[in-house]
Chain A
């Protein structure tokens, strides 16, 4: 079975939807602390977007558009998630106690920079990396 489907509609939507969905996933990630969203959901959206691209454009273009190996992504994500627990130690608190450094950016409002945000980004990267590793290796095994 081939993974690339020769459908014009799918190809066109794949081209346009990918950047939109990726931006949407980052939006979901950043707002996750206050509204529905977060690292898991955002990661799944991003992974699904690339899986869609995979079906429309084929495995090679999907690899190219990713520009990193998804295996590295979950490694980085796990490292980031673990590191986000470290700062608390320097404040004499238990591992993973959250730390907050809000930054005031005049036109946009306040950016809530914090260790849970970094942790959530780590979750995001692990989800994207793992799901894509699974899907891409399976798709390649087809070829």
Chain B
């Protein structure tokens, strides 16, 4: 299992060389891995259907008790199959679609890395690992949207997608930490059984909101839906894979995954079903308003994501069944439609429905596949989309009373609009009068057709035999979402009932909308365009401008270029915070400890203090060096008098060398002039005295109280028995803490290299 998840990363490393070696067939060659993974995951189908879940554990950082755990149940297996299965066709398709692109090999690297991250995301049982994979998908998505990096629009869209999804990721991480606190574990496999404890926890609402924020941004829910259509700047295989079939469903996956732990509360029901329903409707309206092929598909994806969120939010067994069925159906037809959009673009050079028409003669296979996928999108007999749509209607009319009215209305309205959009997608480019196109269209090559044909055929197969999908995977998936076994009873024909009636209504109205597409679009445009200035995308732009303005302001304030203001800021903060904590938490006046005062100790202390004080008022450089030497030797005497011979000797030697150093350099530095104004001097002495006073106070308190024993006891006891050394300080340096010492001598060596480099560089400057 570990190998299965990581194999994508491994292949990504060598993909450029493999692709070069394979030449024109690189796509077919690299697709062997996802294809193999698909079959490997499929081999788990019987076991998961029978037992429900399998747990794989691998030690990762055993010392910290961090493991890599993978949890395979119906839900994660369904996702894993979709990721590796659709991934297979995407890689093949990319080999044909981007055959002449100079960066094809880079594309393979990122798309394989993405596939591996996505697999890791859906299979991880550990929340931390899940989060890491989650962020990896955001990053690979950024690289893929911005694949055409010379296009400014693509770069902008990539950044927008990254900021929205990573911003959500940040909230998600906080949510995960709270979730682990509430549930007492970072393992999903355990959290799934802690539902009651989590729901009753005081942190339930905050953690729910944080996790929903993460999931909603990733899955493009209102009001974060705007990044997804912009992400269509990516090459078509990416749109089909990331922004339709897999990555954007990560948020939905997370919601479905956590439904047994978090679901079942009023907050969950209201937030998910209302945001989901709104997203569904918004997506449908925006889809019918679009004329770009990919843009319309992107908005219909937004609609589908909203539908899934709504279904997970409803929480009924039927809704769970509908969610997994709709998920599978959508991945199949939307993947196919995106790939067809790519074919149209590739063969004709057009990206807008208004420039396409009458292509059925030139592209017969594409037209047939498009028709199948569009029928599934519209939810028409006998395709799998119909099964999903029936279940959707059944779920919304059986929803809890509090939301039943709005969600049913919105679902019906969205269905009408999506039927119209499906008609545009399936009919418009292929029928009607032939429109001249920039390129002379030919039927697409097998590499491009393999994916859409297979996906559409599966949609038809599952439509005709829904039980096939149900027994293999959907029953297990629905059980994972709902947390208890669910009766699915998928069938094409349930007799005449309310869902069927709703289907018929949506079909009829949808076809009417299609027949008057231009009119409907104009109507929507007239009402919505003036309001778009206040839309969420505008909010995003304002947010970004605000960030720039704030960072500009704070850079001017904090990075003002005056070293002493930096020091002042740091010291005042230190004094204020430490002082506040000391006074509020530990309001004790330390008693002066004057025991053991001896005249020679007192003399040393006095000499050190006086030397330091004179060093700051002298105007002679030589005098300052001498006084600093006196301070240093005074400190050395303190070390020696208080039982630290090694430290004392070191201090004496370093003090000698420091004087040599200063003698070598200081006379080439400027003299000591008083540059500050008196006011600045008073202010600085005030701050300096405050810092000194704080440290005196702190030291006195430390000397009075020991909160815990020194860890030195271990070193003192074991110096001779374990390390065969009688000088404990030296034993600590070269044996117990040798690694620290290694770091320290490295710093010393680096300082020497720095000095050498600076002086030699100057010598070279002079020679020039």
Residues of A in contact with B (beta carbons under 8 Å apart):
1, 3, 32-41, 44-45, 47-48, 51, 55, 71, 74-75, 77-78, 81-82, 84-85, 95-96, 98, 100, 112, 114, 116-117, 119-120, 122-123, 126-127, 129-131, 133-135, 137-142
Q: How far is the CB of B153 from chain A (nearest CB, A)?
A: 51
Q: How far is the CB of A52 from chain B (nearest CB, A)?
A: 9
Q: How far is the CA of A107 from the CA of B469 in the complex (A)?
A: 88
Which 6 pairs show the lowest CB-CB distances between chains A and B? A130-B752, A44-B653, A33-B725, A38-B730, A34-B726, A133-B752
The contact sample of 19 A-B pairs, CB cut-off 8 A, is: A1-B667, A33-B727, A35-B727, A37-B727, A38-B646, A77-B749, A82-B742, A98-B723, A119-B734, A119-B742, A120-B734, A127-B745, A134-B756, A137-B756, A137-B760, A138-B661, A138-B755, A138-B759, A142-B664
Whether B620 sits at the interface, judged by CB under 8 Å, is no
Q: How far is the CB of A121 from chain B (nearest CB, A)?
A: 10
Residues on B with C-beta less than 8 A from A40 are 650, 733
Q: How far is the CB of A80 from chain B (nearest CB, A)?
A: 11
A116 touches B745 (CB 8 A): no
Q: How far is the CB of A47 from chain B (nearest CB, A)?
A: 7
Whether B600 sits at the interface, judged by CB under 8 Å, is no
Whether B699 sits at the interface, judged by CB under 8 Å, is no
Residues on B with C-beta less than 8 A from A38 are 646, 727, 729-730, 733-734
Q: Within the complex, which residue of B653, B731, B746, B756 is in contact with A71, where a contact is CB–CB below 8 Å?
A: B756
Contact with A along B725-760 (1 / 0, CB 8 A): 111011101110011011001101101110110011
B724 touches A123 (CB 8 A): no
A135 touches B661 (CB 8 A): yes
A119 touches B650 (CB 8 A): no
Residues on A with C-beta less than 8 A from B646 are 36-38, 41
Q: Within the complex, which residue of B727, B749, B755, B756 is in contact with A36, where a contact is CB–CB below 8 Å?
A: B727
Q: How far is the CA of A50 from the CA of B739 in the complex (A)?
A: 29
Q: Given A98-B735, A134-B661, A138-B755, does the pair A41, B653 have CB atoms closer than 8 Å?
A: yes
Residues on B with C-beta less than 8 A from A75 are 749
A134 touches B650 (CB 8 A): no
Whether B656 sits at the interface, judged by CB under 8 Å, is yes
Q: Within the complex, which residue of A41, A82, A114, A122 is in contact with B650, where a contact is CB–CB below 8 Å?
A: A41
A129 touches B752 (CB 8 A): yes
Residues on A with C-beta less than 8 A from B753 are 71, 133
Residues on B with C-beta less than 8 A from A116 are 723, 725, 731, 734-735, 738
Residues on A with C-beta less than 8 A from B741 are 81, 119, 123
Q: Given A133-B756, A139-B664, does the pair A48, B653 have CB atoms closer than 8 Å?
A: yes
Instruction: Determine the interface band of chain B, counting residues with CB < 8 A from chain A.
Output: 35 or more
Q: How far is the CA of A139 from the CA of B668 in the complex (A)?
A: 12
Residue in B closest to A134 when the chains form the complex, CB atoms? B755
Q: How far is the CA of A32 from the CA of B727 in the complex (A)?
A: 7
B602-658 with Cβ < 8 A to chain A: 645-646, 649-650, 653-654, 656-657
Q: Given A41-B650, A116-B738, A133-B756, does the pair A138, B657 have CB atoms closer than 8 Å?
A: no
A135 touches B726 (CB 8 A): no
Q: How far is the CA of A39 from the CA of B727 in the complex (A)?
A: 13
Whether B763 sits at the interface, judged by CB under 8 Å, is yes
Q: How far is the CA of A38 from the CA of B725 in the complex (A)?
A: 11
Q: How far is the CB of B442 from chain A (nearest CB, A)?
A: 64
Besides A36-B649, A44-B657, 8 more A-B contacts (Cβ < 8 Å) are A33-B724, A40-B733, A78-B745, A116-B725, A119-B738, A133-B755, A135-B664, A137-B756
Q: Within the complex, which residue of A32, A41, A126, A139 is in contact with B748, where a contact is CB–CB below 8 Å?
A: A126
Q: How far is the CB of A30 from chain B (nearest CB, A)?
A: 11
Whether B597 sits at the interface, judged by CB under 8 Å, is no
Q: How far is the CB of A140 from chain B (nearest CB, A)?
A: 8
Residues on B with C-beta less than 8 A from A39 are 733-734
Q: How far is the CA of A48 from the CA of B667 in the complex (A)?
A: 21
Q: How far is the CB of A113 from chain B (nearest CB, A)?
A: 11
A130 touches B649 (CB 8 A): no
A138 touches B749 (CB 8 A): no
Residues on B with C-beta less than 8 A from A36 are 645-646, 649, 727
Q: How far is the CB of A53 from chain B (nearest CB, A)?
A: 12
Q: How far is the CA of A3 from the CA of B663 in the complex (A)?
A: 10
Q: Given A33-B727, A96-B739, does the pair A74, B752 have CB atoms closer than 8 Å?
A: yes
Q: How far is the CA of A41 from the CA of B509 in the complex (A)?
A: 92
A77 touches B745 (CB 8 A): yes
Q: How far is the CA of A33 from the CA of B728 in the complex (A)?
A: 8
Whether B435 sits at the interface, judged by CB under 8 Å, is no
Q: How far is the CB of A68 from chain B (nearest CB, A)?
A: 15
Q: Which of A36, A127, A135 has the most CB of B within 10 A?
A: A36
B656 touches A112 (CB 8 A): no
Q: Given A38-B730, A137-B759, does the pair A51, B660 have CB atoms closer than 8 Å?
A: yes
Q: Within the complex, which residue of B657, B661, B742, B763 is in contact with A141, where a contact is CB–CB below 8 Å?
A: B763
Residues on B with C-beta less than 8 A from A1 are 667
Residue in A closest to B660 when the chains form the complex, CB atoms? A51
Q: How far is the CA of A127 from the CA of B747 in the complex (A)?
A: 11
Whether B665 sits at the interface, judged by CB under 8 Å, is yes
B653 touches A100 (CB 8 A): no
Q: How far is the CA of A85 from the CA of B739 in the complex (A)?
A: 9
